[in-house]
Structure 1
Amino acid sequence: MQLLFDFFPVIAFFGTYQLTGDLFTATAVIIVAVIAQTAWQWFRHRKVSQMALVSGVLVLIFGGLTLLIHDKAFIQWKVTVVNWLFAAAFLASRFFGDKLIIERMMGQNLQLERSLWQTLNWAWIVFFIALGALNLYVAYNFSEAFWVKFKLFGMLGLTVAFAIGQTLWLSSKMPAEDASAESGKSQ
């Protein structure tokens, strides 16, 4: 359910584009959806996640520029900028604080050796860089309609596939006693 909430603005963008065929109307809708999503998070939890905040601010900036200048390149570049900023944040976490970002996100549920956290952090860095580059490739080499579909289905699909791959990789790294304890809980 959280994944759907996280992708709500993108789904609203996609739905609007499918109904209108107009990227500028869809951009206006994603701006409103991001504001609504951020307000909902704030009123419900009295905080907004940093990832959602960064993404939301960039939607406002790049979406606003798209509408103001009437140039679709800004909203298309927003996806890449967000992914590359996430990659930079994951990379910077190696130098600031005692835990990597991925460990801060998953550390309450998972105990790993430092080297595994580092490998996982690097995997997310590479993933975000590749996703940003792939977005630009699609934006500049395919139709606008294809890019809009890729923004929802391609990005979501790749993110889910990467998360599943991460889960499989992590399960192969878990000590045998942890794996047997987990299987005993489910019986």
Structure 2
Amino acid sequence: MKQLIDFIPLIVFFTVYKMDPRMVDVAGNSMEVGGPFSATLFLIVASVIVYGGSFIKNKTLEKSQAITLGAVVLFGGMTLAFQDENFLKWKAPIVNWIFAAAFLGSQFIGQKTLVQRMMEHAITLPGEIWIRMNLSWVVFFTLLGAANLFVAFTFHEFWVDFKVFGSLILTFVFVVLQFLVISRHIQAEEK
């Protein structure tokens, strides 16, 4: 359920971005809705509401949620302040690269990799498999960040679709592949 709630700001952004621009009355003020800048404003507001509600309910935010919220406010704010959507286009690559750096850093800091800390409560794997899985996430986030950057600045009309659906599909496929690798090692350990 939590993962679905995390997609609400992205769905709001996508919906508003794809709307034909039109003027609407909001609390007695006229505002244009549709296109990149109003979508960015809606993304910031939806993110603050979703993650603010999560913080109030759980008394904490996961690190990934805090990083995402910070990036949305920072890059979204710069997008609105400078009326330049290029700032927003940098958000996804930078967030992906922060995640890649966190996974890579976990190889050298602490006794366990980040993947192991996140999943060891559910499965048991040999240490070298945890390390290999962790490094595969480093590669995945690095490449996903590069792909987001390439699409954002090469295919202007397609970047929002890729950001919402392409990244989601690639992540899903990668997770399925990870579980196939894990299942092979779990079966090997059971024998």
Indicate yes or no: 2:173 matched with 1:170. Answer: no
- Indicate the SS of the match to 1:96: coil
What is the aligned partner in structure 1 of residue 3 from structure 2? 3
- CA-based RMSD of the aligned residues comes to 1.4
Q: Is the 8 A contact 1:138 1:147 kept in 2?
A: yes
1:111–1:177: structure 2 CA closer, same or farther, 3 Å change rule?
closer
What is the aligned partner in structure 2 of residue 161 from structure 1? 173
- Indicate the SS of the match to 1:175: helix
What is the aligned partner in structure 1 of residue 159 from structure 2? 147
More strand per residue: 2
Shift of 1:42: 1.0
In the alignment, structure 1 segments of 5+ residues that lack a partner are: 180-187
What is the aligned partner in structure 2 of residue 86 from structure 1? 99
Structure 2 residue aligned with 1:48, among 55, 58, 61? 61
Shift of 1:97: 1.3
TM-score with structure 1 setting the length: 0.90
Q: Is the 8 A contact 1:10 1:151 kept in 2?
A: no
What is the aligned partner in structure 1 of residue 23 from structure 2? none
Look up the equivalent residue of 1:103 and give its one-letter code: Q
Structure 2 residue aligned with 1:99, among 99, 103, 112? 112
What is the aligned partner in structure 2 of residue 182 from structure 1? none
Count of residue pairs the alignment pairs up: 178
Shift of 1:176: 4.7
**Matching of residues 59-74 of structure 1 within 5 Å:** 59-74=72-87
Shift of 1:177: 6.5
Look up the equivalent residue of 2:12 and give its one-letter code: A
What is the aligned partner in structure 2 of residue 183 from structure 1? none
- Indicate the SS of the match to 1:158: helix
After superposition, the C-alpha distances for 1:34-75 in whole angstroms (9 at most, x for unaligned) are: 111211211221110001101110110000000000111100
In the alignment, structure 2 segments of 5+ residues that lack a partner are: 21-33
- Partners in 2 of 1:158 and 1:62 — Cα distance? 23
- Partners in 1 of 2:47 and 2:72 — Cα distance? 7
4+ residue segments displaced more than 2 Å:
175-179
Look up the equivalent residue of 2:127 and give its one-letter code: R
Look up the equivalent residue of 2:182 and give its one-letter code: L
What is the aligned partner in structure 2 of residue 23 from structure 1? 36
More helix per residue: 1
Shift of 1:173: 1.2
- Indicate the SS of the match to 1:32: helix
